Amino acid sequence: MAENMFLYWGSGSIPCWKPMIVLEEKGFGGYKNKLITFSKKEHKGEDVMKLNPRGQVPTFKDGDIVVNESNAICDYLESTYKDKGTKLIPDDKAKRAKVLQRMHEANSNIQQKLLVDVIYYMWQTKEEDRKEEDVKKKMDALKEELNRWEGYLGETKAFLAGPEFSMADVYFYPYIAFAVRMGLELEKLPNLKAYFDKLSARPSLQATQPPHWKEEEPKNTPLKGVL
Ligand SMILES: N[C@@H](CCC(=O)N[C@@H](CS)C(=O)NCC(=O)O)C(=O)O
């Protein structure tokens, strides 16, 4: 099955990381793939463009079936290969509701408050153009959001949506790993710290850590001292 799958991906891309975790968890670790180099514009190459006219990664194929969009790929893999490997979305309706809620909370709130409002803002706004009160507001909102997730983990004492690893963890972990790489120090959020350390050792997450993270230090760390 895995030999019929093909993924175009980029190192450090959160949208790519999510389906890569699912592929590992489902036992499809041998899928064919191409690591694209953004600086060489390989995501705009003919091979990607003909499958994904947006010229973005992840771009995924399962046999003749093309699925793009990270969340769609995760959904497709879990619903098509329900009985393979780790069950990531439970059948029980109460458990499923919790997993779906946490997945979508991560996808909207963490993405907005961490990536868009803070990291992209700090990367894209020159220091002299930043207003101190705006920066404080964004950092406070991020702190509040992280504390919310600290509370969730205080309730479950395990994974995000309960005692088992689920799609909620697939959606959330890459953000927290990226935040740590961007300088976030988790010492003041002990549940998140324990969660991060535990998940970082999980085989599917070990296998999918962005390769360039192992070789290069980040160019800047805008989240240092935020907590
Ligand atoms: N909504 C898409 C976003 C994919 C995306 O933005 N991919 C980035 C890499 S993280 C990309 O390919 N950027 C190149 C471009 O948009 O030209 C998804 O979730 O899959």
Nearest residue to 179 via CA among 201, 200, 160: 200
> Does the CA dihedral 158-160-162-163 come out positive or negative?
negative
Residue 81 per-residue DSSP state: T
The pLDDT of residue 71: 98
Select from 56, 73, 103, 112 the residue to mutate for testing ligand 1; criterion: most ligand atoms less than 8 Å from CB.
56
Q: How many angstroms separate the alpha carbon of residue 188 from the centre of ligand 1?
A: 32
Q: How many angstroms separate the alpha carbon of residue 34 from the centre of ligand 1?
A: 15
Q: CA-CA distance, 75 to 69, in Å (whole number)?
A: 10
Q: CA-CA distance, 129 to 33, in Å (whole number)?
A: 41
Name which residue sits closest to atom 20 of ligand 1, judged by CA.
69
Domains and CATH numbers, the chain: 2-80 (3.40.30.10), 93-215 (1.20.1050.10)
> Would you call 8 helix, strand, or coil by DSSP?
strand
The pLDDT of residue 97: 98
Ligand 1 lined by 15 (C-beta under 6 Å):
yes
Ligand 1 lined by 57 (C-beta under 6 Å):
yes
* CB count in 10 Å sphere of residue 80: 13
Cis omega (within 30 of 0) for bond into 174: no
The pLDDT of residue 126: 92
Q: What is the DSSP string of 100-117?
A: HHHHHHIIIIIIIIIIII
* CB count in 10 Å sphere of residue 125: 13
> Would you call 225 helix, strand, or coil by DSSP?
coil
Nearest residue to 15 via CA among 194, 208, 144: 208
The pLDDT of residue 1: 83
Q: Tell me the pLDDT of the chain (227 aa) as tens digits.
A: 899 999 999 999 999 999 999 999 999 999 999 999 999 999 999 999 999 999 999 999 999 999 999 999 999 999 999 999 999 999 999 999 999 999 999 999 999 999 999 999 999 999 899 998 999 999 999 999 999 999 999 999 899 999 999 999 999 999 999 999 999 999 999 999 999 999 999 999 999 999 999 999 998 899 998 88
